[in-house]
């Protein structure tokens, strides 16, 4: 039985692709690579989610490109975190976290926060939000939040957070992620 499943998996992975209007089309069922490539056509902003680890007091954080407004009343935002994230348990345990909306000149900060392990804040300048959560210095905007809800979703967790404080700057271009690369928007 397991040999049949393995053969079926290979058949899915090797599913023929057809052309439609000059684009590559993956036949259903499609694989994770096809799904990632299709979704990569949607440009997203990049945020840093950071807090102080309640156990150590040290800053902990991650980079995310799945960030959205959820509600104006009450003020809620949402972002997704991979279930395998080693940073999320410490972030979740913090009473408040800061979401920094990164600018076009902050690719290095995003890369450092996206890395696995190590001191992610060693070369990332930051200041404290009103409750002490790390805000990335020079961010376009920041929001101090409290986790309101978590919703399991496949290999990720959808986090809904209530905004308590915020600040925004004028005249900055956002850091954009498109087709698996950082991009800049022309003003």
Task: Express each pLDDT in 131-184 by its tens digit.
Answer: 999 999 999 999 999 999 999 999 999 999 999 999 998 877 899 988 888 887
DSSP 44-55: EE-EEEEEE-TT
pLDDT tens per residue across all 187 residues of the chain? 434 444 344 344 444 454 445 566 666 788 888 888 887 888 889 999 999 999 999 999 999 999 999 999 999 999 999 999 999 999 999 999 999 999 999 999 999 999 988 899 999 999 999 999 999 999 999 999 999 999 999 999 999 999 999 999 887 789 998 888 888 776 5
Query: What three-state secondary structure class fits 39?
Result: helix
113 in Cβ contact with 75 (< 8 Å) = no
DSSP class of residue 169 equals -
Residue with tokens 């290999």: 155
Query: What three-state secondary structure class fits 149?
Result: strand
The secondary structure of the chain in percent helix, strand, coil, rounded to multiples of 5, reads 20, 45, 40
Phi, psi (deg, nearest 5) at residue 90: -70, -40
DSSP 70-136: EETTTTEEEEEEETT-SSHHHHHHSS-EEEEE-BTT-HHHHHHHHSSSS-TTTT--EEE-TTS-EEE
- What's this model's pTM, rounded to 2 decimal places? 0.82
CA distance 86 to 95: 18
CA distance 129 to 42: 31
Gyration radius from the chain CA atoms: 19
């Amino acid at each position: 039985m397991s040999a049949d499943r393995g053969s079926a998996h290979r058949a899915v992975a090797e599913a023929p692709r057809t052309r439609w209007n000059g684009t590559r089309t993956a036949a259903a069922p499609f694989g994770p690579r096809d799904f990632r490539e299709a979704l990569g056509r949607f440009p997203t902003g990049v945020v840093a989610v950071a807090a102080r680890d309640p156990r150590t007091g040290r800053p902990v954080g991650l980079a995310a490109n799945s960030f959205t407004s959820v509600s104006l009343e009450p003020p809620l935002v949402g972002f997704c975190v991979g279930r395998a994230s080693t940073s999320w348990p410490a972030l979740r345990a913090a009473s408040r976290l800061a979401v920094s909306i990164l600018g076009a000149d902050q690719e290095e900060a995003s890369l450092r926060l996206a890395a696995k392990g190590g001191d992610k804040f060693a070369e990332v300048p930051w200041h404290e939000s009103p409750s002490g959560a790390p805000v990335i210095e020079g961010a376009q905007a920041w929001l101090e939040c409290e986790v309101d809800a978590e919703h399991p979703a496949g290999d990720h967790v959808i986090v809904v957070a209530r905004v308590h404080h915020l600040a925004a700057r004028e005249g900055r271009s956002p850091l954009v992620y498109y087709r698996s690369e950082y991009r800049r928007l022309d003003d």
